[in-house]
Amino acid sequence: MIIMKSDATKEQVRHVVKEVEKYGLRADVSAGDYRTVIGLVGDERKIPFDHFAILPGVKEARMVETPYKLVTREYAKMAGEPERRIIKVGNVEIGGDELVFIAGPCAVESKKQLFTIAEGCKKAGAHILRGGIFKARSSVHSFQGLGSAGEEEAREALQWMREAGDKFEMPVITESRGEGQIDLIAEYADIIQIGARNMYDQDLLTAVARKKKPILFKRHFGAGIEEFLSFAEYMVAEDNKDVILCERGILPLGKGKSYTRYTLDLAAVPVLEKETYLPVMVDPSHAAGRRDLVLPLSFAAIAAGACGLIVEVHHNPVEALVDSAQQITPDDLKILIDTAKTIRKDMAGKKKK
């Protein structure tokens, strides 16, 4: 990390960036009101700190010992950048004062199904529409999502998402399961989701970040917080800071019958918020795996400080092709959203006092 003097000129910053690039590294320039901080991205063995430290305008060049740095609040603070990143998607602000609710079916099954659910979600108060077109499934014999049938089918389903989003005035999000799907998805979606199973796929992360669209990044069920942030760093290192972190449950303990699909790690929410400026959301649906737990977990997540939720909703959950047990109805979504907002309002009132 190179910290420039507060009176360093633009020319001096440009010169440092050129020097950094000469060594085959990339420079992440954060120009704050007070001073500019340059994060170096690349193989740390190549970095001649002593050389950088004496360049004109440089206050300090030092090694950061954590496997991530660009995502930290400390980095933003040093650069004089906001301590919270607000990500704008259409008219929606993620990480701002208002809670954001992403809702929709686990999988897009048909145009009619999608439009019925989208309308219900909008009426319930949702802001963003979700819908899986490329599904990450544990068995090759299960329904893999309409997109897996071929490019034409994928494009058609993506078009439905776009149309439903436009009709009900909600930006849309869908998951990219692999590098080969990114270009097509980016043509239609406003936010690209990286699923829990792909959290460790650094090539996928790099490729998706280069689309310069917001990304919803889900924590792998076996990943620690440090790993989660280290892999978020892959996207921020591509100069895409529009990354929404999503806690969705880690592997549950115990033998035999498990009562929840995963264990929602609620402590991760305030921990991540202390560590990073990126907004943190929670997915209660995949954590619970059962619809009777989705509302209580949602309320707990809001109380823990999440800036929003991503919830699976189906007009007829028992008939859903994927994740039937955990999808809630639009009526339940309305109760969820109204109650979550009340909790948030109550918390905000207490903070002010």
Q: Is 323 in the site for Mn ion (CB under 5 A)?
A: yes
Determine the size of the site formed for ligand PEP (CB under 6 A).
Answer: 11
Binding residues among 83-122 for Mn ion as defined by CB under 5 A: 106
Q: How far is CA 94 from CA 14, 43, 207, 214, in A?
A: 32, 32, 23, 10
Q: Which amino acid is at 187?
A: E
Binding residues among 129-148 for ligand PEP as defined by CB under 6 A: 132, 136
Least Å distance, CB 41 to ligand PEP, is 27
Instruction: Give Cβ neighbours of residue 46 (< 8 Å, ≥ 6 apart).
Output: 23, 24, 25
Q: Per-residue contact track with ligand PEP, 160 to 199, x per CB under 6 A?
A: ---------------x-------------------xxx--
Binding residues among 267-286 for ligand PEP as defined by CB under 6 A: 283, 286
Instruction: Give Cβ neighbours of residue 229 (< 8 Å, ≥ 6 apart).
Output: 68, 71, 72, 272, 275, 276
Least Å distance, CB 316 to ligand PEP, is 18
Task: Out of 122, 177, 248, 344, point to the residue binding ligand PEP (CB under 6 A).
Answer: 248
CA dist 260 and 258 (Å) reads 6
Task: Out of 8, 106, 288, 311, point to the residue binding ligand PEP (CB under 6 A).
Answer: 106
CA dist 305 and 72 (Å) reads 18
Q: Is 216 in the site for Mn ion (CB under 5 A)?
A: no
DSSP-assigned states of every residue in 32-91: -SS-EEEEEES-GGG--HHHHHTSTTEEEE----SS--TTBHHHHHHTT--SSPPEEETT
Q: Per-residue contact track with ligand PEP, 284 to 313, x per CB under 6 A?
A: --x---------------------------
- Which residue ranges make up the site for Mn ion (CB under 5 A)? 106, 323
Q: What residues line the site for ligand PEP (CB under 6 A)?
A: 106, 132, 136, 175, 195-197, 218, 248, 283, 286
